[in-house]
Amino acid sequence: MNSNNRNFEAALPPLDRYRDMLRDADAIQGVSLWQDAWRRLRRNWVAMGSLTFLILLSVAAVLTPIFPLQSPVEQHLRDRSFAAPNRQSVQLGLSGLDEEQRSIAIKTLWNDPSAFDEALIRTRLAIFGDWAVPSLCGSDHLGRDMLSRLFWGARVSLIVGVVATFVSLIIGVSYGAISGFAGGHIDDAMMRVVDILYSIPFIFIVIFVVMVISEPTIKGPLESFGINRLVAFYFLIGAIYWLTMARVVRGQIISLKNEQFVDAARTIGADSARIVFVHLVPNVLGVVIVYLTLTIPSVMLFEAFLSFLGIGVEEPNVSWGLLANEGLKVITPIRIYWWLIVFPALALASTLYSLNFLGDGLRDALDPRMKNR
């Protein structure tokens, strides 16, 4: 017996070896899913280029008032109507005005800007004075500068995509998670509601709601609560884009709700709401983020389509779809003002392509099966 013990002790590795093994284990740093996804995303130069473009576009849209652009609403019918792209210098004509006159001019030239926009405009006037960037993208039928209208239109188009997608995210994720976790008859009933809503032609619903909220008897009370047609338009589009999100999330929740970490959460006393929104939903965020990058282009394209039909964004607000619609109206077989179509379409197409490329890159980066490819 003593002999066997001595042999067993001799077979054990020395204590120093244990220390070395522990030191090596401590030196190994674990990599989370998000860290590994970011590392793989950085190797995808197309996705990173798209991400950089979208970040720069978003920053430019937010800081548009501080750029030395011309007024997006000022009209020059006599001398600049349908002017082709040029490099002629432009002056705003605000020098020599007192404070009261300047405030009135700012509200007129920039369509009653918000306090944030007005602060940026005053900073722009302090830095650049009356000088403005020439009409590098030409001007429209009313002599308005297309370059400034493109920058201001980016704000509306991007906000529509982000706000509407955020609304669809909240509704779709909550609905799909609850349906998938509940299961049984509740899941069946909730999914039948989704199937019914899928069969409804939403374009007619949008047209109907937009026409209703445009009626003076309804428009006035809504504006008293700070809800204008543009704000209602944001949430209306978001409210009809949650169906696919709900189905995607439901499928993911069904595949996860029987995992061990859910049983562990039940063991420590977590209720159903906590299990769904604290434990299950964070585990499907990878799929949700990828789907979001593909939903935003769809929403932006839908807004452009509605504005193209004349039932979306209304003047004096401007979006890329509205600009394309205005350009199409003035194109004739005799004369084609190409800049009125090319630049809005190029801005919209570049943004949509970037969002799709980023979505493809995120899908590959967040997919564990693509890890070694």
> Is residue 40 in some structural domain?
no
Query: Which long-range contacts link 74-78 to residues 24+ away (Cβ below 8 Å)?
Result: 74/109, 74/144, 74/145, 75/142, 75/143, 75/144, 76/139, 76/142, 76/143, 76/144, 77/142, 77/143, 78/143
User: Of 316, 348, 343, nearest to 327 (Cα)?
Assistant: 343
- Looking at every residue in the chain, the average pLDDT score rounds to 82
C-alpha–C-alpha distance, residues 127 and 223, integer Å: 35
pLDDT, one tens digit per residue, over 309-362 is 777 777 777 888 888 878 877 777 777 888 888 898 899 889 988 988 888 888
Give percent above pLDDT 90 in the chain.
19
> Which run of H or of E encompasses 131?
strand 131-132
The answer to whether 71 and 135 are in contact (CB under 8 A) is: no
> Is residue 99 in some structural domain?
no
Q: Is the pLDDT of residue 278 over 50?
A: yes
> Is residue 96 in some structural domain?
no
User: Of 192, 180, 173, nearest to 242 (Cα)?
Assistant: 173
How high is the pLDDT of residue 13? 54
> Is residue 280 in some structural domain?
yes
Q: How many domains does the chain have?
A: 1
C-alpha–C-alpha distance, residues 349 and 321, integer Å: 11
Q: What is the mean pLDDT of residues 190-209?
A: 84
pLDDT, one tens digit per residue, over 121-152 is 999 998 988 899 999 998 988 889 999 999 99
Domain that holds residue 235: 45-75+130-370
How high is the pLDDT of residue 302? 80
C-alpha–C-alpha distance, residues 324 and 308, integer Å: 7
> Is residue 6 in some structural domain?
no
> Is residue 55 in some structural domain?
yes
The answer to whether 361 and 50 are in contact (CB under 8 A) is: yes
Q: What is the mean pLDDT of residues 211-237?
A: 75
Q: Which residue bears the tokens 């769904």? A: 276
The CA distances from residue 350 to 42, 63, 145, 269, in Å, are 21, 20, 21, 50
Give percent above pLDDT 70 in the chain.
89
Q: Would you say the C-alpha torsion 156, 162, 168, 170 has a positive or negative sign?
A: negative
Q: How confident is the model at residue 259 (pLDDT cuts 50, 70, 90)?
A: confident
The answer to whether 180 and 249 are in contact (CB under 8 A) is: yes
How high is the pLDDT of residue 8? 47
The answer to whether 206 and 241 are in contact (CB under 8 A) is: no
Q: Is the pLDDT of residue 253 over 50?
A: yes
pLDDT, one tens digit per residue, over 3-48 is 555 554 455 555 565 566 666 656 656 566 677 778 888 888 999 9
Q: What is the mean pLDDT of residues 62-66?
A: 93
C-alpha–C-alpha distance, residues 36 and 202, integer Å: 40
Q: Is the pLDDT of residue 300 over 60?
A: yes
> Is residue 142 in some structural domain?
yes
User: Of 168, 192, 65, nearest to 118 (Cα)?
Assistant: 65
CATH number where 337 lies: 1.10.3720.10
How high is the pLDDT of residue 350? 92
Q: How confident is the model at residue 372 (pLDDT cuts 50, 70, 90)?
A: low
> Is residue 54 in some structural domain?
yes
How high is the pLDDT of residue 119? 92
C-alpha–C-alpha distance, residues 72 and 90, integer Å: 13
Name the DSSP class of 30.
P
User: Of 92, 160, 144, 109, nearest to 340 (Cα)?
Assistant: 144
